[in-house]
Amino acid sequence: MIHGAINHLLAAELWAREALMPFAGQIVEIRPAPLPPLRLVIREDGLVGRAPEGEPALVITLKPEAPAALLRGKEHFLHAVEVSGNAKLADAVMLLARDLRWDFEEDLSRLVGDIAAHRIAGAARDFAAWQADAARRMAESLSDYFTVESGLLASRAELESFAAAAARLRDDLERLEQRVRRLG
């Protein structure tokens, strides 16, 4: 099922298949933390299939924080991934992970037509933006509550003041140590 979704994305982009073609026959294993590993073999046409038994050329391990990082964006997600194995294959796969996009509006237009797909996609984008805005506002409200009202967290100004005071204390201590050395 997963390889079918990946192939759907790859089939829409010739450059993506061409990036994988040199690695035909190689196995990629994806290890999502709580789930069993997903093993894929790269076919000669640049698509993927179920991998036979054998040693993977590339292992991609998703750290436990990967789902949360994905919500923050692709760049954050890519930092929550460990890659080992064939470096050239890893570069190709990471290029695909960074640049391959699903045009869901195009797929939807085949089902309901262009105008309806455009409106549905617009509504989905608006809903996602609303959710992101609500999450941002909630985080800001919680931050304000914990720093201002409850006093559980220090504000940025308090932290900067503390850091400056600690730096002054360190400098004063250093000067004192130099005086003691000169006297001794």
Is 0.95 surpassed by the pTM of this model?
Answer: no
How far is the C-alpha of 184 from the C-alpha of 176, rounded, in Å?
A: 12
Can you tell me which residue has the tokens 């964006």? 73
Q: What is the pLDDT of residues 40-78, one digit of tens each?
A: 999 999 999 888 888 999 999 988 887 777 777 777 777
How far is the C-alpha of 145 from the C-alpha of 133, rounded, in Å?
A: 18
Mean pLDDT, residues 10-24 taken together: 87
Both tokens of residue 161?
């003041």
Helix (H, G, I), strand (E, B) or coil at 27: strand
Residue 178 predicted with pLDDT over 80: yes
Q: Which of 82, 81, 92, 85 is nearest to 23 (CA)?
A: 92
- What is the amino acid identity at position 47? L
**CB neighbour list of residue 156: distance below 8 Å, 6 or more residues apart:** none
- Residues forming a β-bridge with 61: 31, 82
**CB neighbour list of residue 70: distance below 8 Å, 6 or more residues apart:** 76, 77, 80
Q: What percent of the chain has pLDDT over 90?
A: 21
Q: Which of 84, 82, 79 is nearest to 69 (CA)?
A: 79
Class of CATH domain 2-99: alpha beta
Residues of the chain with CATH 3.30.1050.10: 2-99
Report yes or no: 83 and 56 within 8 Å, Cβ to Cβ: no
Q: What is the pLDDT of residues 113-152, one digit of tens each?
A: 888 878 888 888 888 888 878 888 888 888 778 877 777 7
Give how far Cα 92 sits from Cα of 6, 50, 95, Å: 14, 19, 5
